[in-house]
Amino acid sequence: MTAHVVLIDALNLIRRIYAVQERPFLLNNELSENTKQQVLHNTAQASATAVANILEFLMPTHGVAVFDSEQPCWRYQLYPDYKKGRKKMPEHLATKLSDIQDALLSKGIDSIEPEEDEADDVIATLAIKVALRNQKVTIVSTDKCFLSLINENIQVYDYFNRRFLDDNYIEQKFSVKSNQLIDLWALTGDSTNKIPGVAGIGQITAAELIKDYGSVNAILAADKIKSSVKQKLDQGQDMLKLSHQLLTLKQNIPLGFNLKDIRLMTV
């Protein structure tokens, strides 16, 4: 039987659900202790419902929710300003993640939390391993980084908008192909994760360069680029290479489990 593996970007799902549950109770940006507990309870229940809906709609044979490690990943060692200034998870939510994991497990989805890796890299590793066997993978997330993995065996599903983020979506939003996205973002930077890219290069210019030359390496080797753009690329070449490294999802993370371990009991 052909496997269909669903990989849930757990914190992407939970934090968005938490924000929705918290919003009606916010007063001066603070919650009372009783309200915090109510919001956390609502978040756990809504997260479990979301997982049940995902499983009912996608009908996978295997599935797992992947969390980030509590330890800083390799990207912080490479670039200390990675995600600098990004809003942190509320402490009361962080301390209750195990309860939410239990709620997900009640719907049939187990959770994994790596020792030192981001969920993005773990999901990418597992997705590629499964896809190379010609098995189907659906990544459930609104994080754009996973769009770079899309191919005939890997799809990305946005649960909140109930849509698949496919090649047409990528072309309309970014004007490049999925396998060119890392090059695009290395040029433009990624403001969400505080990855700078090349100063002065926006998405329109970056997309035009990629359309004309195909890749970052070809762009850097070209000799007919507009002088003002060439100057920016020359000045930002080191940051371009660093940004490309930071944006590239690792595909060789030691997993410590196999497909049998995440087979859904309902299948």
Binding site, residues?
Answer: 120, 187, 196, 198, 201
- Single out the residue of 12, 20, 199 nearest to residue 123, CA to CA: 12
First to last CA, the chain: 11
What residues contact 211, with CB distance under 8 A and at least 6 apart?
175, 176
Residues annotated in a binding site for K(+): 187, 196, 198, 201
CA pair distance 172, 260, nearest whole angstrom:
38
Helices (H), 74-194: 74-78, 91-94, 97-105, 119-131, 167-174, 181-188
Q: Which has the closest alpha carbon to 86: 96, 78, 76?
A: 76
How far is Cα 198 from Cα 196, in angstroms, rounded to an integer? 6
The C-alpha atoms of residue 48 and residue 14 are separated, in whole angstroms, by: 10
Bridge partners (DSSP) of residue 195 are 190
In the annotated binding site for Mg(2+), the residues are 120
